[in-house]
Chains A and B, each alone.
Chain A
Amino acid sequence: MTRGIARKISQGAIGIAMGLVYYVLYVVALPVAFQSVVGLLVEFRPPADPSIFLALFIALGVGEGIAPATVGASLGLLSKVVGSLYIYYATNGGVISVALAGYRATIDLSLLIYAIVAGSIIVGVLGASARACEGASKV
């Protein structure tokens, strides 16, 4: 009993860590990649307060950690879909504006955004199906 509770708590802690990883990957890394690495002032428009996404990713991560394999796999996939949608809407569907000295540039990155969204969902579906199969074989 105590061991089962301790296991659930550790799975929940791993879920919180996974939620933080998804948050950093999708919400923090993208603007930092453009503004620090590339050195361009890109205007990102988050679809909602980033703290809502932090809470959502942590909730989905905890759910993924403690729920049964099939449900957990679906929640893991949902994290990737939410992250992909965040990138899509924050970058205005891939059309971003950049301010340079005396100029304004509009760049259409939609192809790249679609590739990131599609890649993220494909990896999520494969991971979820592998987890669901592992869970089914244990039962």
Chain B
Amino acid sequence: MRPSIVLALAIGFAIAALFLPLLVFAVEVAQNPALLGIRVDATVLNQSHVALTVALSYAGTIPLTDVQLMIRNRSIDLGDLHEGSTRTVAIPLSVDEALGLRPSDLGLRFKVMGIYYVEVRAID
């Protein structure tokens, strides 16, 4: 076999290996859109503030690293998520701020297996 063909095959395998984690993650998301579940609840703290409790669960096989929850301009580090992981954070907000929240103000950032940066935002 020619060295150039061997190198072309090696490059092809390297690209396929690089693509595999994202492909598995995308297929899992396409099969189960609730793979990365987010539940948001609000609890009244006092007359001026509420606590927004965000519960995050992940059921995928590909680890998600550097997970960040974004609420408006704030971002909260949630670490890494593996299969079956759950994270719950309580975010204190003023009542006005909570009432003015729109779905697109909530977002999630993470890296698929530490390689591919992904940002997910709800559509208003």
Contacts and interface: CB of A to CB of B under 8 A. Distances in A.
- Is B one of A's binding partners? yes
Given A38-B26, A40-B30, 12 more contacts: A34-B26, A38-B27, A40-B29, A100-B33, A103-B120, A103-B121, A106-B119, A109-B22, A112-B116, A115-B14, A119-B15, A130-B4
B76 interface: no
Contact of B118 (A34, A102, A108, A119): A108
Contacts of B39: none
A69 B103 CA distance: 60
Interface in A74-94: none
A39 B120 contact: no
Chain B interface size band reads 20 to 34
Interface in A97-139: 100-109, 111-112, 115-116, 119, 122-123, 126-127, 130
Main secondary structure of the interface of B (DSSP, over half): helix
B116 A115 contact: no
Contacts of A102: 103, 122-123
Interface of B: 2, 4, 7-8, 11-12, 14-15, 18-19, 22-23, 26-27, 29-31, 33, 103, 115-123
Chain A interface size band reads 20 to 34
A123 B27 contact: no
19 contacts: A38-B30, A39-B26, A39-B27, A39-B30, A40-B26, A40-B29, A100-B33, A100-B120, A101-B33, A103-B122, A104-B121, A105-B118, A105-B120, A107-B22, A108-B116, A108-B117, A122-B7, A126-B4, A126-B7
